[in-house]
Amino acid sequence: MFEYVGGLFDRAQPATFALVCSALLHYAVLATRSETAQALWQLSRRQRRLTVRAAFVLLGLCATVALIPFSLFGAGVALILTASVRLASPRKQGWTVPELDVHILTEVFFHSTALVGTALGINFIALGHYSDLQNGQRVTITLTLLIGSVVAVNKSTTRTRKLCTEITKGVSGVRRHMESLHSVRELNKNSERLPDKRQECHEKIDDLSRALDTRLNTGYRQLGTRVLPVDTFKTLMTDLHTAADEADRENLSWSQASPLLDEIRAACAKHVDEMA
C-alpha cells in the first residue's frame, strides 16, 4: 500500500512541484503588490467569497489537467474536490428578481457540470487505482458512470422545470385571488365575503411561499440553491400577506409585490414543463 502511494507521488511529482511553485509565486506577487491586496479586501464579503471559489475551481481544474499524464488517481481526487466546491457551497445571495432567469440557467448549468465532474473524478480514481484492468472493463466502468451522471443531470433539470411550473401556477393563483379580493372590497368595504376572500388569498400566498422556499436543484436544503435571496423572499411574503389584510388595490405593499410577481412568473415561465 505504501509503495503504491509512493509511486503515485513519484509519478505526480513534476506536476505537483509546478503547481506548488505557481501557487507560491502568485501568493508572493499578491502579498508584495499592496494595491492588489487592498483591492481584494475592499471587495464585499460576497465578492471575496465568489473570487476565492472561482480561484479554487480554476486551480482544481489546472491540477486535474496537470495530473492526468502522471496519475489518473490524483487527477480524479482533484476533480472531485473541485466539483465539491460547487455542490457543497450553494449561492444564497447575490442576484435580484430581474436576474432570476439568468440565475436559474446558470445554477442548472453549473450544478449539472459538477455532477458530471464528480462522475469523471470517480472514473479517474477507479481507472487509476485498478491499472491492470482490460480495455473492456475500463469501457464498462466509464460508460456506467457516464450513464449515471446523465441520469443525475436529467433528474436535477426535471426538478427545476417542475419547480418553475409550480411557481408559475402559484403566482397566477395569488394574482387571481387578490384581484377577486380587490373587486369585492371595491364593491362593498363591509362585505361579509371579505374575510373568506382574505383567507383564500393567505392560503394561496402560503402555497407560493412553499414553492419559492424549495431548492432549485436538489431536495437537500443545505446543499440546494434558493430561487430568491433570503431577504427578497421574506420581504415579498410580508408584502403579500399585508396586501391581503389591507385588501386595497392601491396599497403600498401590493404595489411593491405585484411587479415582482410578474417578473418571477416571466422568468419561471421559460422553464415550464407540465409533463416533467
pLDDT digits (tens, 9 = 90+) for 216-245: 888 888 888 899 999 999 999 999 999 999
If asked whether residues 147 and 226 sit together in one domain, one would say no
Range of the domain at 249: 160-269
If asked whether residues 119 and 197 sit together in one domain, one would say no
If asked whether residues 145 and 224 sit together in one domain, one would say no
If asked whether residues 152 and 171 sit together in one domain, one would say no
If asked whether residues 168 and 154 sit together in one domain, one would say no
275, part of any domain: no
276, part of any domain: no
239, part of any domain: yes
If asked whether residues 119 and 231 sit together in one domain, one would say no
> Based on the structure, what is the number of domains in the chain?
2
Task: Compute, in degrees rounded to 10, the torsion defined by CA atoms 43, 46, 47, 49.
Answer: 110
Average pLDDT over residues 138-150: 92
If asked whether residues 31 and 138 sit together in one domain, one would say yes
34-86 confidence digits (pLDDT tens)? 444 444 444 455 555 556 666 667 777 777 777 788 888 888 888 888 888 77
In order of 12, 23, 67, 146, 205, the CA distances from 73 in angstroms are 10, 22, 9, 17, 51
> Which pLDDT value is given to residue 164?
95
Percentage of the chain exceeding pLDDT 70:
79
Task: Compute, in degrees rounded to 10, the torsion defined by CA atoms 264, 269, 273, 276.
Answer: -10
CB of 160 closer than 8 Å to CB of 216 = yes
Give Cα 56 to chain centroid, integer Å: 17
73, part of any domain: yes
If asked whether residues 149 and 169 sit together in one domain, one would say no
Single out the residue in 107, 124, 158 at which a domain terminates.
158
C-alpha cell at 262: 410578474
89 or 43: whose pLDDT is higher? 89
Does the pTM exceed 0.85?
A: no
Q: How far apart are CA 121 and CA 138, in angstroms?
A: 14
